[in-house]
Amino acid sequence: MSEYQYYEWQALERPLTAAEQAAVNNLSSHIDVTSSQVIVTYEWGDFKHDPIQVLAKYFDAHLYITNWGTRHLAFRFPGGLLDVKTIERYTDEDHIRIKTIGNVQILEIEINEDEGYDEWVDEHGLLSTLSRLRDHIMQGDYRALYLAWLKAMSLESDHYDEDEDDPDNFFNDPEPLLPAGLKQLTPPLKAFADFFEIDPYLISAASERSLDLSPLGQADFAPLISRLTRQECDDFLLKIVNSEPGAITALRKKLLSFEISTPKPETHQRTFGELLKTTEKLRQAESRRQTEEKHQKHIAEMQELAKREAQTWQEIENLVQIGSTAGNYDDATALLSKLQQLSEFQGTQANFMIRVRELGERYKKRTALIERLKRKGWI
């Protein structure tokens, strides 16, 4: 199987200029360039430039996918907009990183599955959905980062036993700041969880203590605007009319800083090991629910079949009498299998075996039918 690499970048704040499009077009002979999107694919060879440097210079969002198990999502933010100290609580060296390049900040989420992902994703249009998480993060919604932390920890914990005495054992690591709204994942967050194949039971376990998300945009900005200085008003207005990246977000952040924040109640930080135990309990509970649902469905099917038992035996007889065709014999065998299940449900297996043997005796010259009955162990 040939190697496949997919690179995509998107400009979200402003379109690329003609000069920028020309510069980007020269980065690869495999490249498709528009004013807002660039795609590069390789089946042989590699991209010769640093994708993150390309992101920092020209774009706002980047996606990289390979068919050997690498999935990489990165965003560029205007410098000074992010609460870096809070974001760093979700980061690690290998999977979630934040760094400054020039006057912008880059947030990367990179997950490498050594054995590959379970399913290939349709890369087309995916970044357009995932890029909406960039706005969430700028507004202080860190659900994507928490989900990424869950995935990173689950990968690392695969290398250790829970009781293993090792300083790198991740089971005792406390969770980072638990964001609100984990029970209310938006379509981009669902796409994010699907893209990185984050265990839905692990998400459910983590969300048990997550508060409901407060609706955005309910702050009364009118009295807050009056607290800006004349110079601050002029600076923000100039940035907004010039379409400067992040200008509106920066204004909202400044205004909300005037509000008196309500202290959040302290909650016990669960360890990743505790989350895994809850995950397993949820998985087992769902397995029991599905087993019970399947059992109840089987009961209903058998009760319905019991009403048509005589009719079903006659259908089998008719199928065999019609003629010696494989289709008829297959259909008759399938109906007999259903009647065998009914006999097990009713405790009448002996009666079933007697009737099948009688059927076999009546049509003992039908070799194809007899072979099917023998394969089932009925005669």
Q: Please give the pLDDT value at position 73.
A: 98
Closest to 245 measured CA to CA, from 12, 56, 88, 32: 12
Report the chain's terminal Cα–Cα distance, integer Å: 48
Q: Please give the pLDDT value at position 306.
A: 96
Q: Please give the pLDDT value at position 72.
A: 96
- Confidence band, pLDDT 50/70/90 cuts, at residue 9: very high
Question: For 250-271, what is the mean pLDDT?
Answer: 66
**Non-local CB neighbours of 353 within 8 Å, separated by 6+ positions:** 378
In whole numbers, what is the pLDDT of the chain averaged over residues? 88
Distances in Å between the alpha carbon of 42 and those of 5, 21, 29, 65, 329? 5, 20, 10, 11, 52
Cβ atoms of residues 11 and 37 within 8 Å: yes
Residue 305 token pair: 């079949």
Distances in Å between the alpha carbon of 112 and those of 65, 100, 175, 206, 349? 10, 23, 21, 22, 54
Indicate the SS3 state at residue 285. Answer: helix
Q: Please give the pLDDT value at position 99.
A: 96
Cβ atoms of residues 43 and 67 within 8 Å: no
Res. 30: pLDDT tops 70: yes
Q: Phi and psi of 246, rounded to 5°? A: 80, 10
Residue 205 token pair: 């376990």
Q: Please give the pLDDT value at position 262.
A: 46
Question: For 188-208, what is the mean pLDDT?
Answer: 96
- The conformation of residue 271, written as its DSSP 8-state character, comes to B
Q: Please give the pLDDT value at position 126.
A: 96
Q: Please give the pLDDT value at position 217.
A: 47
Closest to 77 measured CA to CA, from 56, 51, 95: 56
Is residue 109 within a helix (H) or strand (E), and if so which, with residue range? strand 104-112
Res. 226: pLDDT tops 80: no
Q: Please give the pLDDT value at position 117.
A: 73
Res. 265: pLDDT tops 80: no
Res. 136: pLDDT tops 90: yes
Q: Please indicate whether residue 297 or residue 253 has the higher confidence score (pLDDT).
A: 297
- Confidence band, pLDDT 50/70/90 cuts, at residue 169: low
Crossing angle between the packed helical segments 143-157 and 272-307, to the nearest 10 degrees: 90
* Per-residue model confidence as pLDDT tens digits over 173-186: 899 999 999 999 99
Cβ atoms of residues 250 and 239 within 8 Å: yes
- Confidence band, pLDDT 50/70/90 cuts, at residue 263: very low
Question: For 235-243, what is the mean pLDDT?
Answer: 76
Cβ atoms of residues 189 and 147 within 8 Å: yes
> For residues 292 and 352, what is the distance between their CA atoms, to the nearest angstrom?
27
Question: For 36-60, what is the mean pLDDT?
Answer: 94
Q: Please give the pLDDT value at position 56.
A: 97
* Per-residue model confidence as pLDDT tens digits over 111-135: 988 666 777 788 889 999 999 999 9
> For residues 37 and 51, what is the distance between their CA atoms, to the nearest angstrom?
14
Residue 100: other Cβ atoms inside 10 A:
12
**Identity of residue 338:** K
DSSP 48-102: -S-HHHHHHHH-SEEEEEETTSEEEEEEEEETT-S-HHHHGGG--SSSEEEEEET
Distances in Å between the alpha carbon of 43 and those of 6, 72, 184? 9, 18, 38
Closest to 335 measured CA to CA, from 354, 355, 353, 319: 319
- Confidence band, pLDDT 50/70/90 cuts, at residue 309: very high
- Confidence band, pLDDT 50/70/90 cuts, at residue 103: very high
Question: For 24-36, what is the mean pLDDT?
Answer: 93
Lowest pLDDT segment from 91-105, 144-158, 216-230: 216-230
Q: Please give the pLDDT value at position 160.
A: 56
Closest to 92 measured CA to CA, from 150, 152, 179: 152
Indicate the SS3 state at residue 235. Answer: helix
User: Residue 288: beta bridge partners?
Assistant: none
Query: In the β-sheet with 5-10, what is the strand arrangement from edge to edge?
Result: 31-33, 37-42, 5-10, 61-66, 70-78, 104-112, 96-101
- By CB neighbour count within 10 A (0-12 exposed, 13-18 middle, 19+ buried), where does 234 fall? exposed
DSSP 164-176: ---TT--TTPBP-
Q: Please indicate whether residue 268 or residue 83 has the higher confidence score (pLDDT).
A: 83
